[in-house]
């Protein structure tokens, strides 16, 4: 039976520690705990989600994540089979260029409204979306991609009828990752994927060094606060 409230949160954190002790990185330990709790929460609550493989409506937008989450993605890409890695990097490079053009045109507006890109990017496919409608980086997809779920069939992004379902455990996982980033970099916020990919492309897809994040990720126009309140 799933525990909620502070007891549930403590148990969740214990599972994260256990996963780390088993050799997982902090981010993968949180993801593994989250996946387990999501499955239990769905089973215990009997909630009927309409999401499933092949439905990728929620992949038509610009996702945002923390630096530690992006590090896991870059590591995953570096371990992909050579041909698939080459194709993906090409796709990511094009996406990064599109973002750079958008950013240079809208830098001032983004400083005033860091959420601007969310609307501007609605309906555009995520560069990790495969031609078969599946996520290419599924094992390391970010927290939002693990938890975004609907109680009603979305149809298309433009005419989305999505009815968001919120899981208790998503708040715990989300806030643990933000705290983890704050411990390392002194702030709690996420940046759009385009921003991360632009830095990664310049670094020839090597992991972004922490000092580079302080320089580039410290740009307030691409930081959004997303701490969840429950």
| Chain positions contacting ligand SF4, by CB under 6 A | 59, 63, 126, 128-129, 135, 137, 141, 145
Token readout for 125 is 């496919």
In the complex with ligand SF4, the residue whose CB is nearer, 4 or 39, is: 39
Among candidate residues 89, 78, 91, 71, the one with its CA nearest the CA of residue 31: 71
Closest approach, Cβ 12 to ligand SF4, in A, equals: 22
Q: Least distance in Å: CB of 43 to ligand SF4?
A: 22
Between 102 and 121, whose beta carbon lies closer to ligand SF4? 121
- Check: CB of residue 194 under 8 Å from CB of residue 105: no
| Beta-ladder partners of 190 | 224
Nearer to ligand SF4 among residue 63 and residue 190 (C-beta): 63
Least distance to ligand SF4, CB of residue 35, Å: 13
b or e along 152-186 (b: 16 or more beta carbons within 10 Å of the residue's beta carbon)? eebeebeebebeebebbbbbbbbbbbbebbeeebe
Distance CA 51, CA 58 (A): 10
Q: How far is the CB of 138 from ligand SF4 (least distance, A)?
A: 7
Q: Least distance in Å: CB of 145 to ligand SF4?
A: 3
Residue number, 80 or 129, with CB nearest to ligand SF4: 129
Nearer to ligand SF4, 42 or 129 (CB): 129
Task: Give 26's contacts (C-beta < 8 A, 6+ positions apart).
Answer: 16, 20, 68, 180
Q: Is 183 helix (H, G, I), strand (E, B) or coil?
A: helix
Distance, in Å, from the CA atom of 38 to the CA atom of 200, rounded to the nearest integer, reads 31
Write down the least CB distance from residue 130 to ligand SF4, Å.
8
- Closer CB to ligand SF4, residue 34 or residue 145? 145
């Amino acid at each position: 039976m799933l525990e909620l409230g502070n007891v549930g949160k403590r148990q969740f954190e214990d599972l994260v520690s256990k996963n780390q002790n088993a050799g997982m990185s902090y981010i993968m330990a949180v993801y593994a705990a989250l996946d387990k709790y999501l499955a239990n929460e769905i089973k215990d609550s009997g909630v009927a989600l309409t999401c499933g493989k092949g439905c990728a409506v929620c992949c038509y937008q610009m996702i945002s994540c923390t630096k530690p989450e992006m590090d896991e993605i870059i590591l995953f890409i570096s371990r992909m089979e050579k041909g698939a890695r080459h194709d993906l990097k090409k796709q990511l490079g094009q996406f990064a260029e599109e973002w750079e053009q958008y950013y240079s045109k809208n830098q001032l507006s983004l400083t005033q409204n860091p959420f601007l890109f969310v609307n501007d990017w609605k309906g555009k496919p995520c560069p990790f979306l495969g031609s078969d409608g599946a996520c290419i980086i599924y094992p390391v997809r970010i927290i939002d991609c693990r938890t975004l779920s609907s109680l009603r069939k979305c149809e298309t992004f433009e005419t989305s009828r999505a009815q968001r379902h919120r899981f208790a455990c998503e708040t715990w996982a989300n806030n643990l990752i933000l705290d983890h980033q704050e411990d390392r970099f002194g702030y709690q916020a996420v940046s759009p994927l385009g921003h991360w990919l632009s830095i990664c492309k310049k670094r020839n897809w090597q992991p972004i060094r922490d000092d580079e994040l302080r320089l580039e990720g410290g740009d307030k126009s691409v930081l959004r606060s997303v701490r969840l309140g429950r």
